[in-house]
Amino acid sequence: MWTIIRDLIRYNIEFAIGAMLVGIIVIFSLLSFFSPYAPNDIYVVFPDQPPSAAFWFGTNSRGQDMFWNLTFAFRNTLFFGIMVAVLSRIISITVGLLAGYLGGWVDRSMMFVNDIFVALPIFPILILFYFVLRSDLNMFTLALIMAGLGWPFDARLIRSVAIGLRHREFTRHAVFAGMSPAKIMFEEHLPYVMPIVFSTAMANMIWSIGFEVTLGVLGFTNLNVPTIGTTLYWANNHSAMVVGTWWWIIIPVALIIATFLGLFLLAVSMNEYIDPRSRLRRMGGE
Amino acid sequence: MSTLLEVSNVSMRFVMGGLFSRNHIDAVVDANFTLSAENPEIFTIIGESGSGKTTLARMILGLEKPTAGDILFEGKSAAERNTRAARLAFMRRVQPVFQNPFETFNPLKQVDRYLEATARSLLGARSKADVDAAMDDALQKVGLSLKEIAGRYAHELSGGQLQRVAIARALIPNPALLIADEPVSMVDASLRMSIVNLLKELRDTLKVSVIYITHDLATAYYISDRIIIMQKGHVVEMGPARTVLDTPEHPYSQLLKSSVLSIDAAGMGDLRPADRAMAEAAWSRAGQGALVARDDGRMVRTA
Amino acid sequence: MGDVLTVRNLKAYYQMAYFGVDREVRAVDDVTLTIRENEIYGIAGESSSGKTSLIKTFAAAIRPPLKIVDGSMTYRFGDLEIDPYKASKEDVDAIRWKHLSYIMQGSMSLLNPVRRVKKTFEDFAFKPMGLPRAEFWSKVRAHLERLGLSPNVLEAYPHQLSGGMRQRVVIALATVCQPEFVIADEPTTALDVVVQKDVLAMIRDVQRQMRSSVVFVTHDMSVHANITDRIGIVYAGRLVEEGPTRTLFTAPKHPYTAHLVASLPRIGDTTPKAALEGRPPNLADPPSGCRFHPRCPLAIEKCKTDVPPLETVGSDHRSACWRSDEVRPLAKIGTPEPEVVA
Ligand SMILES: Nc1ncnc2c1ncn2[C@@H]1O[C@H](COP(=O)(O)OP(=O)(O)OP(=O)(O)O)[C@@H](O)[C@H]1O
Ligand SMILES: Nc1ncnc2c1ncn2[C@@H]1O[C@H](COP(=O)(O)OP(=O)(O)OP(=O)(O)O)[C@@H](O)[C@H]1O
Ligand SMILES: [Mg+2]
Ligand SMILES: [Mg+2]
């Protein structure tokens, strides 16, 4: 595992950059545990200070130190993204492998449900949830809802790989070795869909974080939890751009773009991690 | 006398192409034979490439549903084996060896997984020691050992080693019927003899019946009791192996025998195609007529 | 007759480290040979003796863990001289398909399962052939027919074809560009004898027409007997005997060859045939001295310690055995009818 990562960093520039960007963001968010201020305290520092040696990212109009405040925001946002990615991967792997391997009516009914989910308009549904749940819509519920909506495309992708695998001779061999369908799906076939799982996980994080930011900016989430979305909401609320406190908007936007870019590069280079042939080619093995 | 396997009037038709071009291929047409439980035998299927040998084997294994006819194993059809327990029971009695050893193992997994799974779920071995013993036992029968195989991936073994591992795996549950689809096509002459001798020994000592699919007429002659010869989905000749191969009657069988390469003309580069008239007769009569019984126990398709 | 491929003291090992334990499989050990223009060179030997590894190195298709440890290998196509392991990747790619093509063992399973056969042809052969589209397809169709395949197979997916059909598709793919050097690993193992004979005749006809070189690997000695001009016998990674086909069959000078020729059953013969005693050597830890000595009926003390060199024992005939003069053929090879001329 470590040697793979080492090789990837050494031979794959996309992965190196992606890992660096994401790594910086993760370390940044972990700094939140050392924050001198609680995330929701306001007017703890002098408001509207531009970035300086004392306040690296400046302070906002609510009297918060942006540096420490953003560490909380990124921690929450990343955690949210990872949770959605993990939960929706579990659903899409299960659905994709089951439908692909079992085929027949299982496949047909699962793909029917899948098609419905593909057709659902996500944004209106999220807003609907907000109005129904209001203050009950915390990060966790939102993650559950997003996970419930974020699996169908990837499940379809996984299913198409699984269908190809079902016709391979080693699958029949596994059947006659007495392996149960679950064992065949999750031990024999899963490794083949891992590249898809990894690269779609990154794409899925970009997708769910994007929605979180959008909802936050519009004020459709719990505003007391610092996230990138709510940070931008408050900035907007205090007309940051107009008043001239640009750092309140530019810095979080720049960081979130770096996060997206990092995740995207990781998604692209993940294929190399799984597909040994292209990995060898890079190492000059051919 | 009870029957082990009964194949009656089995046909298989594949539909190819899209909605508009409806090509169909009759992969197997009206196949009939039975294997008896008391007299284990090596039953050889020989024939043209694409004549439906693999398809027939797969129907017997229950991997493909025949479009017509019945296949009963110990009196039960594949449709009656509708629970997992019933299917596992079937797999304890019938085991396959597939054609292409490079495709039989998952390239991302170690090969011993298949042996281990078989030992656990079909033989019911529990402890690690029992499983290893069962695996090693089976591997020893084919001239390998667990030490050589453990932890290896398919691409690290040669074709012959893989095929022997595949046979070893099939032997773990002590099956009554082994369906071997070209098990020796990828191994050298010496190993070929050891595998073929192994099949013979399985029949004689362990009372295992073997359906042996091959292109090699010489080993077929050497080990089989009965043989069927297939051409374009049809059985053209069927009967005691030696009788059929010594004096083939159907034109395709004759063509087959005359095409066998011999080492007597080594280095002379004699690859002249077989006698034209014989080939003509073989191709023009493909699929015609009905099987007619002869006095010497064989059946020949005659117009 | 020029030499197209010259191999000198070639060593290629699989070098692996599993959890800190180093393993080295000596699959190609000190092989020296030349392949000439206009000949079919057969390579025979036991399963896992390293035949595939040897021709993979010929085809410049090796990947880690297989590595060239020592030796040299040079191709000569007309005026072009190239050692694939010293040349740049571009130069090697340039000779692939056009000058050199490689039919891999088990390659019928390498056809892309989700692409129609047609697409595969387009991917591999269209560019190197450099023909207009219509002409390209008519050429492909004609070539498939020559191999006894209906052009309909172009529309099929690989799993819809039988093993033998797939194998012929692969042969067609590798020969449609008419390369000067063809390397074929077990290309006819999944064919019935009728088709096999036709395919072998086709391969030979094309080869004679083009005066190209073919390296043909199979363990089926009867195929070797009928298609090759010369044969090299490989045992445990080493070339142990090499000579003209007929000579190897009638007067082998290595005990392993003698055994190989005699081990085949024939129709009409049911006398029990024994396989070679003992088990195939483990290439990670090969026997000392002559690698065949533990299974050899002629072995003497010297064989256990000293590696026999590959020495000339007759015209164009080399053998690596300390007691090569004492080797006698174990099988009687019939005399061919007089009217058969090569
Ligand atoms: N899934 C499928 N869909 C369509 N046609 C198929 C399918 N499987 C096999 N066929 C066709 O059925 C015929 C018989 O194929 P099969 O694999 O049984 O031949 P075989 O006798 O085993 O040949 P070989 O000796 O070459 O392995 C072939 O024409 C093949 O194209
Ligand atoms: N990728 C690999 N890693 C480690 N060992 C390997 C690898 N590939 C092959 N080997 C080993 O190298 C030896 C030679 O294998 P090779 O495939 O060249 O044999 P072969 O003569 O072609 O056999 P066959 O006739 O059975 O195909 C075998 O012992 C095999 O286990
Ligand atoms: Mg077949
Ligand atoms: Mg090989």
Give per-residue pLDDT as tens, C41-73: 999 988 778 898 999 899 888 877 788 888 889
Range scoring the smallest mean pLDDT among A135-144, B97-106, B187-196, C15-24? C15-24
Write down which chains contact chain A via at least 3 CB pairs under 8 A.
B, C
User: Which is it for strands B42-47 and B68-73: parallel, antiparallel or unpaired?
Assistant: unpaired
Closest CB to A280: pick one of C63, C89, C114. Answer: C63
Quote the mean pLDDT of chain B.
86
Question: Mean of the pLDDT values across residues B256-273?
Answer: 79
pLDDT given for residue C342 in this prediction: 39
Q: Is the pLDDT of residue B18 over 60?
A: no
**CA gyration radius for chain B?**
20
* Percent of chain B surpassing pLDDT 90: 35
Instruction: Identify the nearest ligand to the CA of C14 by its number.
Output: 2
Domain ranges of chain A: 2-30+73-282
Within 10 Å of residue A113's Cβ, how many Cβ atoms?
13
The ipTM value here is: 0.81
Most C CBs within 10 Å, among A2, A167, A192, to test the C interface: A167
Within 10 Å of residue A278's Cβ, how many Cβ atoms?
13
Instruction: Tell me whether residues C47 and B158 touch, CB distance under 8 A.
Output: yes
Q: Is the pLDDT of residue B281 over 80?
A: no
Check if CATH label 1.10.3720.10 holds for domain A2-30+73-282.
yes
Helix/strand/coil (H/E/C) assignment for every residue in chain B: CCEEEEEEEEEEEEEECCCCCCEEEEEEEEEEEEEECCCCCEEEEEECCCCCHHHHHHHHCCCCCCCEEEEEECCECHHHCCCHHHHHHHHHHEEEECCCCCCCCCCCCECHHHHHHHHHHCCCCCCHHHHHHHHHHHHHHCCCCHHHHCCCEHHHCCHHHHHHHHHHHHHCCCCCEEEEECCCCCCCHHHHHHHHHHHHHHHHHHCCEEEEEECCHHHHHHHCCEEEEEECCEEEEEEEHHHHHHCCCCHHHHHHHHHCCCCCCCCCCCCCCCCHHHHHHHHHCCCCCEEEECCCCCEEEEC
Q: Is the pLDDT of residue A275 over 60?
A: no
Q: Is the pLDDT of residue A5 over 90?
A: no
Q: Is the pLDDT of residue B271 over 80?
A: no
Closest CB to B91: pick one of A168, A169, A178. Answer: A178
Q: Of C68, C22, C43, nearest to C238 (Cα)?
A: C43
Q: Is the pLDDT of residue B19 over 70?
A: no
Quote the mean pLDDT of chain A.
85
Question: Which residues in chain A touch residue C89, judged by CB atoms under 8 angstroms apart?
Answer: 286
Q: Report which DSSP code applies to C96.
A: B
Q: In what order do the strands lie in the sheet with C39-45?
A: C100-103, C181-185, C213-217, C39-45, C230-235, C238-244, C317-319, C311-314
Instruction: Tell me whether residues C63 and A285 touch, CB distance under 8 A.
Output: yes
- Whether the CB of B37 is below 8 Å from some CB of chain C: the reply is no
Residues written for chain A: 286
Q: In what order do the strands lie in the sheet with B23-36?
A: B23-36, B3-16, B68-73
For A102-143, what is each residue's pLDDT tens digit?
A: 988 999 999 999 999 988 888 888 888 888 887 777 888 889
Question: Mean of the pLDDT values across residues A247-260?
Answer: 90
Question: Residues C144, C146, C148, CA angle at the centre, nearest 5°?
Answer: 75
Residue nearest to atom 3 of ligand 2 (CA): B156
pLDDT given for residue A278 in this prediction: 43
Q: In DSSP terms, which residues pair with B68 in a beta bridge? A: B11
Q: Of B23, B53, B180, B211, nearest to C165 (Cα)?
A: B53
Q: Are C249 and B263 in contact (CB under 8 A)?
A: yes
Range scoring the smallest mean pLDDT among A20-34, A105-119, B279-293? B279-293
Query: How far does C292 lie from chain A, in Å, by closest CA?
Result: 33
Instruction: Identify the nearest ligand to the CA of B53 by its number.
Output: 1
pLDDT given for residue A53 in this prediction: 84
pLDDT given for residue C21 in this prediction: 55
pLDDT given for residue C340 in this prediction: 42
Q: Of B102, C111, B107, nearest to A189 (Cα)?
A: B107
Inter-CA distances, C255 with B191, C290, C299, Å: 17, 12, 10
Phi and psi dihedrals of B296, rounded to 5? -80, 15
Closest CB to A167: pick one of C64, C89, C159. Answer: C159
- Whether the CB of B169 is below 8 Å from some CB of chain A: the reply is yes
Q: Are B226 and B193 in contact (CB under 8 A)?
A: no
Residue carrying structure tokens 């077989």: B274
Q: pTM for the whole thing? A: 0.78
Q: Are B259 and C193 in contact (CB under 8 A)?
A: yes
Q: Of B28, B53, B34, nearest to B179 (Cα)?
A: B53
Q: Are A197 and A74 in contact (CB under 8 A)?
A: no
Q: In what order do the strands lie in the sheet with C80-82?
A: C21-36, C3-18, C66-77, C80-82
| C-beta of C162 in contact with ligand 1 (< 6 A) | yes
Q: Is the pLDDT of residue A202 over 90?
A: no
Question: Residues B21, B23, B25, CA angle at the centre, nearest 5°?
Answer: 165
Inter-CA distances, C191 with B46, C169, C221, Å: 11, 12, 15
- Whether the CB of A10 is below 8 Å from some CB of chain C: the reply is no
Question: Which residues in chain C touch residue A7, judged by CB atoms under 8 angstroms apart?
Answer: none
pLDDT given for residue C283 in this prediction: 81
For B202-231, what is each residue's pLDDT tens digit?
A: 899 888 999 999 998 988 998 999 999 999
| C-beta of B50 in contact with ligand 1 (< 6 A) | yes
Most A CBs within 10 Å, among C114, C115, C162, C166, to test the A interface: C114
User: Which residues of chain C are modeled with pLDDT < 70?
Assistant: 1, 17-22, 106-110, 113-114, 278-279, 334-342
Instruction: For residue B51, report the distance from its CA to the centre of ligand 3, in Å.
Output: 8
Most C CBs within 10 Å, among B21, B142, B158, B242, to test the C interface: B158
Distance CA C200, CA C180 (A): 17
Domain ranges of chain B: 3-302
Instruction: Give start and end residues of each alpha helix (H) in C76-235.
Output: 89-95, 117-129, 133-146, 163-175, 193-210, 221-227
The CATH fold of domain B3-302: Rossmann fold (3.40.50)
Instruction: Tell me whether residues B115 and A177 touch, CB distance under 8 A.
Output: yes
Instruction: For residue C185, report the distance from its CA to the centre of ligand 1, in Å.
Output: 23
Question: Which residues in chain A touch residue B134, judged by CB atoms under 8 angstroms apart?
Answer: none
Question: Mean of the pLDDT values across residues B138-145?
Answer: 84
Residue nearest to atom 6 of ligand 2 (CA): B156
Q: Of C228, C275, C265, nearest to C247 (Cα)?
A: C228
Q: A162: which residues sit within 8 A by CB, 6+ positions away? A: A96, A97, A99, A100, A101, A185, A189, A192, A193
Residue nearest to atom 5 of ligand 1 (CA): C160
Q: Of A208, A106, A111, nearest to A157 (Cα)?
A: A111
Q: What residue of C is the nearest CA neighbor of A286?
A: C63
Cβ < 6 A, ligand 2 pocket: B 155-161; C 14, 25, 27, 45, 47-53, 65, 105, 219, 283
Q: Which domains does chain C have, with CATH numbers?
A: 37-63+87-234 (3.40.50.300)
Total CB pairs under 8 A between chain A and B: 56
